[in-house]
A and B are shown apart, each in its own frame.
Chain A
């Protein structure tokens, strides 16, 4: 698991009260965490703060896994 994925999982687990040990890089963020679009927006802000990046919404269309989101983050660091 990359550092980025590990940090993402930690952030998501903290925000949504999940057990990080039960989250995997290829997990579907929405299904595994059971979050709605409002919560997803909160997570995007957490991610941007943590990694000091800006993620244009249109680049996140279709992104469902921690691994795919990590790729987008790494491309902007």
Chain B
């Protein structure tokens, strides 16, 4: 599901949970295991997908549906809060790692997958990458910290566009908006990330860490507000109804808008 290598100061974290690295309790536990063993002497973390389908399709909706369906109604709130608190803990820790973090994105980068990518310091997108917040279709907002993190990087107009329309944008548009640092050909993302890691390794560690700490802060108040709004919306009937439709759908193309 999650695997990593560590060599000469560089971690390469590979997500490989079919169909497209959906984030549920298993993925979360894997990310937590990775975070708990990070060598503070490392200088770069590369986050990538090992699946052809894309970077990450977002939250594991089938697992979420099972959890909510199996629990009494009055337990939905506490259950959602527990999951979202754990997710935020992992995302915040990834965000604040004292390494330079590089996300390599190809194909689908939707919802929670987009939010995971947004924890990275630098994003390298292959030309096939598409970014999307489809959450309104489920009657919720992005809940893994995506909007506050996106607000650090791009203007409010693009955020409203993505959030309120649910449309996806390609790598070139994402680069023009300042969200993506480099766009490369299909299959070239990891090579570009390794070249960046080699460069990062030349820098003085104290200066490198200080630079990141200086420019990249956690938007704590907004993250907290997002968490509360997410749980309030997710407790409502719209999410469960949307999840029901999703799991019962026989559409072979569930990731088409």
By a beta-carbon cutoff of 8 Å, the part of chain A in contact with chain B is 30, 36-38, 40-42, 44-46, 48-49, 54, 56-58, 60-61
Q: Which residues of B contact A58 (CB under 8 A)?
A: 165-167, 257
Q: How far is the CA of A58 from the CA of B255 in the complex (A)?
A: 12
B132 closest partner in A (C-beta): A57
Instruction: Report if A41-B172 is in contact (Cβ < 8 Å); known contacts: A58-B167, A60-B257, A61-B257.
Output: no
Q: How far is the CB of A7 from chain B (nearest CB, A)?
A: 17
Q: In the complex, which of the residues B127, B168, B254, B256 contacts A49, with contact meaning CB atoms closer than 8 Å?
A: B127
- Give the A-B contact count at a CB cut-off of 8 A: 63
B residues contacting the other copy or chain, number (CB 8 A): 26
By a beta-carbon cutoff of 8 Å, the part of chain B in contact with chain A is 20, 52-54, 107-108, 127-130, 132, 165-173, 252-257
Contact status A41-B166, CB under 8 Å: no
Apart from A41-B256, A61-B256, list 9 A-B contacts with CB within 8 A: A30-B253, A37-B255, A41-B255, A45-B128, A48-B172, A49-B172, A54-B169, A58-B165, A60-B257
Contact status B253-A37, CB under 8 Å: yes
Q: In the complex, which of the residues B52, B130, B165 contacts A45, with contact meaning CB atoms closer than 8 Å?
A: B130
Instruction: Report if A41-B130 is in contact (Cβ < 8 Å); known contacts: A48-B170, A49-B172.
Output: yes
Instruction: Report if A57-B127 is in contact (Cβ < 8 Å); known contacts: A37-B255, A40-B253, A45-B171.
Output: no
Contact status A57-B52, CB under 8 Å: no
Instruction: Report if A45-B127 is in contact (Cβ < 8 Å); known contacts: A38-B107, A54-B169.
Output: yes
Q: How far is the CB of B131 from chain A (nearest CB, A)?
A: 11
Q: How far is the CB of B205 from chain A (nearest CB, A)?
A: 37
> Can you give 27 A-B contacts (C-beta < 8 A)?
A37-B253, A37-B254, A38-B54, A38-B108, A41-B54, A41-B107, A41-B128, A41-B130, A41-B168, A41-B255, A41-B256, A42-B128, A44-B168, A45-B128, A45-B129, A45-B170, A45-B171, A48-B173, A49-B127, A56-B167, A57-B256, A58-B165, A58-B166, A60-B256, A60-B257, A61-B256, A61-B257
